[in-house]
Amino acid sequence: MTASLLQVRGLVKHFPARTSIVGSNAVVHALDGIDLDIAPGELMAIVGESGSGKTTLARCIIGLTRPTSGEIRFHDQDVTHLRGAARREFRRRVQPIFQDPYASLDPRWSIARTIREPLDAFGIGTSTERDATVARLLDRVGLPGRLGTRMPHELSGGQRQRVGIAAALALDPELIVADEPVSALDVSVQAQILNLLSELQRDLRLAMILISHNLAVVEHVCDRAAVLYLGQLAEEGPIDRLFGHPEHPYTKTLMAAIPYPDPTRRLVSAEILGEIPSPIHPPSGCRFHPRCPVAIDRCRTEQPEVTTFGPGHRAACHVASLRVQSPSMSLAGATRSPAPPGN
């Protein structure tokens, strides 16, 4: 088995709930006990609804947000509390690509200066070598060199995101964390940016984490995916297993909601109840049980353990675990237990 490049163990992040209505000691449970492994050269997706903890997880990994507890290891070194030169080196090897390409670029800097800034900050190469690197990166992301003198407002959204990608590549990182990199772009250019990211990840043998809520995108470009729900891991596995044989009811619902342009494909009902609960007062037991169409009594009171369903495929679901123990049982045969008031 390939050694992990990045390991996340028991990651917890709570934010103070800044409202007097819920009490002064209330917290937002953004992440609660996340475990993940990223292999070198792997393209992994983190998916889930808004409020599931995807962006918080990304910010913790790249060091922009400090976890409440837990551990993040890069090359088997704990990077959660790095300081000084060690933190600087980690920042060089792990680079972000942000959601909004306009907000992430300094409006006062030219495109060439934006891409060159990481090289200047880390003192890489001579001035002439840095200029050559900028030209090479512009070409690598499909932008003509003449755009180097332009300002961000003179570029389209897709071009600005290509600049952000070029800046992320400037330091030859080993891991890139891309947080919804195409959600702010026109649909007409989303595929171009996704294909570029996939091509760069493959050609440069980068590890990449792609944060997304678009499962059709994930299926197209990723090797593995982790499904988050209300700050916890619902399911994780290789793309073919996750899309072909999902185990968690939440994952099944997400998969059933993917629109396929095939008139002969039978539509599958995607029953999901209510809205995502408050992360300030998450439900007891399985956090998905108030919305789950197949929840049983145990789901309401006992948090499910992560069960392995195949190579690299695991999920946290009582009903799915029972089906493994008793193959004759099916999710369709499970009975929904009504959620108690307040959950």
Do residues 202 and 316 both lie within one domain? Answer: no
Residue 188 lies in a domain: yes
Residue 304 lies in a domain: yes
Q: Which of 13-22, 91-100, 259-268 has the lowest mean pLDDT?
A: 259-268
For residues 172-193, average pLDDT: 91
The answer to whether the beta carbons of residues 46 and 31 sit under 8 Å apart is no
Do residues 57 and 191 both lie within one domain? Answer: yes
Domain count, the chain: 2
Residue 245 lies in a domain: no
pLDDT digits (tens, 9 = 90+) for 302-338: 999 999 999 999 999 999 998 877 655 544 444 444 4
Q: Which of 16-25, 160-169, 206-215 has the lowest mean pLDDT?
A: 16-25
Domain, as residue range, for 279: 254-333
Residue 166 lies in a domain: yes
The answer to whether the beta carbons of residues 316 and 304 sit under 8 Å apart is yes
The answer to whether the beta carbons of residues 318 and 275 sit under 8 Å apart is no
The answer to whether the beta carbons of residues 218 and 191 sit under 8 Å apart is no
- Could you tell me the end-to-end alpha-carbon distance of the chain, in angstroms, rounded to an integer? 41
pLDDT digits (tens, 9 = 90+) for 58-103: 999 999 999 999 999 999 999 998 889 999 999 999 999 998 888 8
pLDDT digits (tens, 9 = 90+) for 131-166: 999 999 999 999 999 999 999 999 999 999 999 999
Listed residues 213, 229, 245: the one ending a domain: 229
Q: How many CB atoms lie within 10 A of CB 311?
A: 9
Do residues 19 and 150 both lie within one domain? Answer: yes
Do residues 277 and 317 both lie within one domain? Answer: yes
Q: Which of 186-195, 219-228, 262-271 has the lowest mean pLDDT?
A: 262-271
Q: How confident is the model at residue 265 (pLDDT cuts 50, 70, 90)?
A: low
Do residues 111 and 169 both lie within one domain? Answer: yes
Nearest to 60 by CA among 45, 84, 82: 82
Q: What is the Cα–Cα distance from 3 to 6, expressed in whole angstroms?
A: 9
Residue 277 lies in a domain: yes
pLDDT digits (tens, 9 = 90+) for 287-309: 999 999 899 999 999 999 999 99
Do residues 186 and 266 both lie within one domain? Answer: no
Residue 100 lies in a domain: yes
Residue 106 lies in a domain: yes
Residue 215 lies in a domain: yes
Do residues 199 and 265 both lie within one domain? Answer: no
